[in-house]
Amino acid sequence: MKIKQVVLNDRPKLIQLFESITIFTPDEQEVIKELLDTYLYNPNQKDYIFFVTQEDDQAFSSFICFGPTPMTKETYDLYWVGTSPHHRRKGLAKKLIEFMMEYMRERGGSIMRIETSGQDSYNETVAFYNGLNFTEEARIKDFYKKGDDLIVYICRL
């Protein structure tokens, strides 16, 4: 397994990976594809970067999308991370987030932000983020929809 930055030729395989991750809703799939196309087709943008893990058989097993938060000095947003159902429970998402931390450190980054739904917290997400030294620093009630809060996780490097 290696981590590689996504290039234009990777688009079909990456779309396939997105679509295999059925825990993403159709709305979420749309947003992720939009970000990918902004990243691939707008050479002037600096807000979104995509990396994947590529297996020995060349398959993409997981991806991450992150970028420097506009107008901040040392803050990065982790926008999306996801793993193919065939490659779960191997620590790939954790590896990609650790890769992002290293990427940030090399560029003077010190704060990583994740915005996520409170509904995600019923599954493994909270334990996962806590294990990576993220803490819940803010919560906006009913943000996504009634009964579905926004939770902001922060990791300070």
By CB under 8 A, name the binding residues for its own copies.
27-28, 31, 69-75, 110-111, 113, 137-146, 152, 154
Residue with Cβ nearer its own copies (27 or 106): 27
**Contact by Cβ (8 Å): 86, 117:** no
CB of 60 to its own copies, least distance (A): 23
The conformational region for residue 86 under phi > 0 = left, psi -120 to 50 = alpha, else beta, is: alpha
Residue with Cβ nearer its own copies (72 or 130): 72
Residue with Cβ nearer its own copies (60 or 76): 76
Residue with Cβ nearer its own copies (8 or 71): 71
CB of 8 to its own copies, least distance (A): 19
3-state secondary structure of 59: coil
**Residue type present at position 122:** Y
State the CB neighbour count (10 A cutoff) for residue 79.
Answer: 19
CB of 52 to its own copies, least distance (A): 23
CB of 63 to its own copies, least distance (A): 18
Residue 13 makes CB contacts below 8 A (sequence gap 6+) with 59, 60
Cα 65 versus chain centre, distance: 4
